[in-house]
Amino acid sequence: MQLAKSITPKKIKALHLSKWAFLVFSATLVSPVFSQDNSPYSRFGIGDLVPGNNIVNRAMGGITAGYFDQLSINFNNPASYSSFQSFREKKSKKMSSGRAILDIGINFDNRTLREPNSTNKFTASNALFSYIQVGVPLKQNWGLSFGLRPVSRISYKVLRNEMLKDPLTGQNIENASTLFQGSGGSYLASVGTGFSLFTRTKHKLEERLSIGFNTGLLFGEKDYSTRRALLNDTVSYYMANYETSTNFKNLYFDAGLQYKLPLNEKMLLSLGVYGSLGGDMKGKQDRIRETYIYSENTGNLRLDSVSDQRDVKGTLKLPSTFTAGFLLQKFALQNKEGGWMLGIDFSTQQWSKYRFYGQADSLRNQWTLRIGGQINPVPRRNYFSNVTYRFGFFTGPDYVKVGSKLPILGGSFGLGLPMAISRQAPNQATFINLAFEYLRRGNNDNIVRENQFRFSLGFSLSDIWFIKRKYE
């Protein structure tokens, strides 16, 4: 779904990269963009890695290691599931009810591609699904969460016009037009649980250490094609298509820890760590080599199949990931003091070990530093004093490495907007979470520079469930 009018891509001058021809912008990026981006860097690895965290965390630069909340779901660190709110009956140790959470997010992206030292650019806007997640408290300090979210996207379309030359004599042969196109991406359907262990202090038992894990199915598709046509005024040539389509899937597992350390009655330090060991995904691949003609009525029509291999089995080797960080939090006091939190995360991913059917790619090990926080003003009758204000910053190299290093720099700002409680549903608590992110990918040393503005909208809906009702 495009948010603006149809965009006719503008011409971008030629760039030079002999190894990866599809990144050579020596002609027009073809056809208007309606529901897809055009990111040449999504050709590498498993594609562009989409934001993999809750919109609440995204507004704070993406910090997740030490973060926990009763009214939103931090699905990155499953140890946080132990913080889902539950209630106990008076004079009883049994839980009578809990607060279930439904968390939904969508993104509105605007991406601009630029050739360094040039005013030419290409722009596309899209609305994309971000995640849907459910959190349920099972018992006191024990929670369950499940949901679906995208992991990566592949979307590019680049046209290159060139003169083919004889490799021996260097003489011109024919003009050729080559279209490089890719689509696909990956998704994660997961379920996880987290619970807390208690530590005895001088006065009472306190929840300190939380442990959690997620498991699920990671699945996706990579579809790459190269279509070439020879241009000649007197001789008619058939067009050629080289297409490789791969479907892959495998079980996924990650785990996390959080340790909460009270500093005083108002301050809490939360330490967190989570990660995954990676692993191999099973793939099935179709390899098509064919000649075809194009018809305005029926599209591309195959003339002859040079090679057609189906269900070629192989593996995709994914890297291990690791994130550690802390969150310092000051609690707000009703009508007396405001609250705030500040956190730092550091994450690494070993993408140099990635393999696609045994082949390496132009990837590098990635690290990311994230800093963020939020401010809660002193709550008053004024609505905006009850709004949560969030901010963040992140930086690090991209996992794609084509030519020189591809740096990433970004910042974020967000709001947590509480909704009025309905008289018909007094037990409900609803928040609208907004996140505004700006991301710059690459600089003038890279082949293509991307500027991306992302507006994310999230709905956190919670309600009391499993209530024991009494009738008179």
Residues 260-274 have pLDDT tens digits of 999 988 899 999 999
- Predicted structure pTM score: 0.85
Cα distance between residue 112 and residue 118, in whole Å: 13
* 8 A C-beta contact, residue 75 and residue 133: yes
Residue 176 lies in a domain: yes
Residue 16 lies in a domain: no
pLDDT surpassing 70 at residue 206:
no
Residue 5 lies in a domain: no
β partners of residue 7:
33
- The stretch 337-346 carries a mean pLDDT of 94
Residue 10 lies in a domain: no
Cα distance between residue 377 and residue 384, in whole Å: 9
Q: Which tokens go with 106?
A: 């969508």
Cα distance between residue 253 and residue 357, in whole Å: 22
* 8 A C-beta contact, residue 162 and residue 176: yes
69 versus 98: the higher-pLDDT residue is: 69
Residue 470 lies in a domain: no
Q: How far is CA 237 from CA 11, 290, 303, in A?
A: 26, 13, 12
* 8 A C-beta contact, residue 364 and residue 397: yes
Residue-wise pLDDT tens digits, 279-330: 899 999 999 999 888 877 777 888 888 888 999 999 999 999 999 999 999 9
Cα distance between residue 333 and residue 67, in whole Å: 20
pLDDT surpassing 60 at residue 93:
no
- The stretch 225-252 carries a mean pLDDT of 88
Strand pairing class (86-88; 95-114): antiparallel
Residue 15 lies in a domain: no
The CATH number that applies at residue 33 is 2.40.160
- Total of domains in the chain: 1
Quickly count helices (H) and strands (E) in the chain: 1, 19
Cα distance between residue 437 and residue 429, in whole Å: 26
Tell me the CA end-to-end span of the chain in Å, nearest whole number: 53
Which residue range is the domain that position 381 belongs to? 21-465
Least confident of 24-28, 121-125, 335-339, 403-407: 24-28
Cα distance between residue 407 and residue 430, in whole Å: 37
What is the residue-averaged pLDDT of the chain?
84
What is the reported pLDDT for 410? Answer: 96
* Three-class HEC string of 254-320: EEEEEEEEECCCCEEEEEEEEEECCEEEEEEEEEEEEEEEEECCCEEEEEEEEEEEEEEEEEEEECC
Q: Which tokens go with 190?
A: 């997961």
Residue 472 lies in a domain: no
254 versus 7: the higher-pLDDT residue is: 254
Residue 212 lies in a domain: yes
What is the reported pLDDT for 303? Answer: 84
Amino acid identity, position 397:
P
* 8 A C-beta contact, residue 66 and residue 433: no
Strand pairing class (142-165; 205-231): unpaired
Other beta carbons within 10 Å of 465: 12
